[in-house]
Amino acid sequence: MSRRSLHTPAPDAAALRARLDRARGAAAKADTDALLIAPGSDLRYLIGQAGGSFERLTTLVVPAEGAPALVVPKLEAPGYADIPADELGIDILTWVDGDDPYRLVAGRLGKPGRVAVSDFTPALHVLALRGALGAAEQILAGPIVRELRMRKDAAEIDALRKAGAAIDRVHARVGEWLRPGRTEAEVGADIAAAIVEEGHDRADFVIVGSGPNGASPHHDVSERVIERGDVVVVDIGGPIPEGYNSDSTRTYAVGEPRDADVAETFAVLLAAQRAAVAAVRPGVTAESIDAAARDIITDAGFGEYFIHRTGHGIGLDVHEEPYIIKGNDLPLEPGMAFSVEPGIYQAGRWGARIEDIVVVTETGVESFNGRPHELVVLDA
Ligand code: ZN
Ligand code: ZN
Ligand code: ZN
């Protein structure tokens, strides 16, 4: 978790108030007396500011009944000066070194029966809260907050669309940098700079998997020198100032691919990715989208080379709900945004992946990535 700059664009107060109201309702529905929201994406979602988590406790107390309170060290309170606390009805409770912030939380809640803590709350805070809250049962807040964050509103969809367009502009330029004789790391550095130039806050990840490295789905970059004939997986993304992330993969060939099986295999992958995107609409399950891609790849004999789920939700986090995976029978609803990214990985030889971010619309699907999906054969 990192500290963000203070003046990042945040949703307006009315939108945040609606989210806090829904969070309260979700807590009540889950028989939970309060949500204890740690700094990070959940906090940014609810108050427009992600803050930072350190050894000193910062937590947003969202009771099922009553006003929320932000418990924050006095020395870090200026970082929250921009949140519309009055309009949101949030009390700011500061504490100084030597105070017991966990008692401050307990004082606010009385004797709760059950509290939900953010999934990524540091253990030192979780255990200290357990001590301060006596008999209260602790559960994860993730499943409660996820119900809100999984369905994006219009402003969030706009932000994801903007992030998609920005990463498309970077993919459009990959041919400038991906050349024989350069290392993956050199190419990756150019791509990372372009990710920022094209409107992101930073490059969160840059995968340049050339030749055999393309068969490792979460490869980063290496000192491998790119050769003529290599197939190269380029998977890149990062957050735009609104906090929403891009994530897009295209597969390139540096000149005509060296391996004879590339064209035929890639055609299978392309058909699988298209079929999965085309299957997206309200009411179908997340796992049916995985199956739409996987069945085509399996039927072509490549099932064992498709070694990950078909996709993940995306928003303020790069990976969030809903996961597009076998076993997830969640029915898709308008506003759910996720990746569709099947891959075929031939260990020791080469790999390929195609990834778009899509959103479920009232009638079907919109893709935020518009670059051609075919193998991009660069002049070399
Ligand atoms: Zn991934
Ligand atoms: Zn990706
Ligand atoms: Zn992804």
Give kind and range of the element (H or E) at residue 131.
Answer: helix 123-132
Domain presence at residue 4? no
For the chain, counts of helices (H) and of strands (E) = 10, 17
Domain presence at residue 5? no
Ligand 2 center to residue 273 CA distance, Å?
A: 14
CB 150 within 8 A of CB 322: yes
For the chain, give the percent of residues with pLDDT over 70.
98
Ligand 3 center to residue 309 CA distance, Å?
A: 10
Ligand 3 center to residue 260 CA distance, Å?
A: 28
Q: Could you tell me which of 108, 94, 107, 120 has the C-alpha nearest to residue 37? A: 120
Q: Do 80 and 229 sit in the same domain of this protein?
A: no
CB 138 within 8 A of CB 129: yes
Ligand 3 center to residue 339 CA distance, Å?
A: 6
Strand partners, 254: 378
Let me know if 116 is exposed, middle or buried by CB neighbors in 10 A (0-12, 13-18, 19+).
buried
Q: Classify residue 201 by its DSSP letter.
A: S
Number of domain units in the chain: 2
Taking residues 38-56, what's their average pLDDT?
94
Q: Give the model's pLDDT for residue 9.
A: 74
Let me know if 30 is exposed, middle or buried by CB neighbors in 10 A (0-12, 13-18, 19+).
middle
Question: CA triplet 85, 124, 318: central angle to 5 degrees?
Answer: 65
Domain presence at residue 305? yes
**Model confidence at 11: pLDDT above 90:** no
Q: Do 81 and 178 sit in the same domain of this protein?
A: no
CB 246 within 8 A of CB 162: no
Domain presence at residue 7? no
Ligand 1 center to residue 76 CA distance, Å?
A: 33
Q: Do 244 and 211 sit in the same domain of this protein?
A: yes
Provide the mean pLDDT of the chain.
95
Q: Do 160 and 123 sit in the same domain of this protein?
A: no
Strand partners, 232: 210, 252
CATH number at residue 343: 3.90.230.10
Domain presence at residue 339? yes
Cα–Cα distance between 163 and 343 in angstroms, integer? 22
Ligand nearest to the CA of 337: 3
Ligand 2 center to residue 70 CA distance, Å?
A: 34
**Model confidence at 7: pLDDT above 90:** no
Q: Do 197 and 172 sit in the same domain of this protein?
A: yes
- pLDDT range class, residue 102, cuts 50, 70, 90: very high
Last residue of a domain, one of 147, 165, 200: 147
Q: Do 100 and 158 sit in the same domain of this protein?
A: no
Last residue of a domain, one of 131, 147, 163: 147
Taking residues 94-115, what's their average pLDDT?
96
Q: Give the model's pLDDT for residue 10.
A: 78
Ligand 3 center to residue 238 CA distance, Å?
A: 11
Ligand 3 center to residue 355 CA distance, Å?
A: 7
CB 67 within 8 A of CB 91: yes
What digits encode the pLDDT tens for the residues 163-213? 999 999 999 999 999 999 999 999 999 999 999 999 999 999 999 999 999
Ligand 3 center to residue 234 CA distance, Å?
A: 11
Ligand 3 center to residue 163 CA distance, Å?
A: 13
Q: Give the model's pLDDT for residue 6.
A: 43
Ligand nearest to the CA of 312: 3
Q: Give the model's pLDDT for residue 196.
A: 98
CATH number at residue 20: 3.40.350.10
CB 266 within 8 A of CB 227: no
Cα distances (Å, whole numbers) of residue 369 to 190, 222, 293, 338: 21, 27, 18, 12
CB 121 within 8 A of CB 36: yes
**Model confidence at 291: pLDDT above 50:** yes
What digits encode the pLDDT tens for the residues 75-84? 999 999 999 9
- CB neighbours (10 Å) of residue 100? 13
Ligand nearest to the CA of 307: 1
At 300, the amino acid letter reads: A
Ligand nearest to the CA of 353: 2
**Model confidence at 3: pLDDT above 80:** no
Taking residues 76-95, what's their average pLDDT?
95
Q: Do 140 and 174 sit in the same domain of this protein?
A: no
Ligand nearest to the CA of 339: 3
Domain span including residue 87 = 13-147
Ligand 3 center to residue 56 CA distance, Å?
A: 33
Last residue of a domain, one of 117, 147, 177: 147
Q: Give the model's pLDDT for residue 8.
A: 64
Ligand 2 center to residue 56 CA distance, Å?
A: 34
SS3 268: helix
Taking residues 306-335, what's their average pLDDT?
98
Ligand 1 center to residue 134 CA distance, Å?
A: 40
Q: Give the model's pLDDT for residue 1.
A: 37
Helix 123-132, helix 101-109: angle, nearest 10: 50
Q: Do 283 and 135 sit in the same domain of this protein?
A: no
Q: Do 311 and 341 sit in the same domain of this protein?
A: yes
Q: Give the model's pLDDT for residue 5.
A: 45
Give kind and range of the element (H or E) at residue 86.
Answer: helix 85-88
Q: Do 372 and 229 sit in the same domain of this protein?
A: yes
**Model confidence at 341: pLDDT above 60:** yes
Ligand nearest to the CA of 338: 3
Q: Do 98 and 167 sit in the same domain of this protein?
A: no
Ligand 2 center to residue 142 CA distance, Å?
A: 23
Ligand nearest to the CA of 206: 2
Q: Do 352 and 255 sit in the same domain of this protein?
A: yes
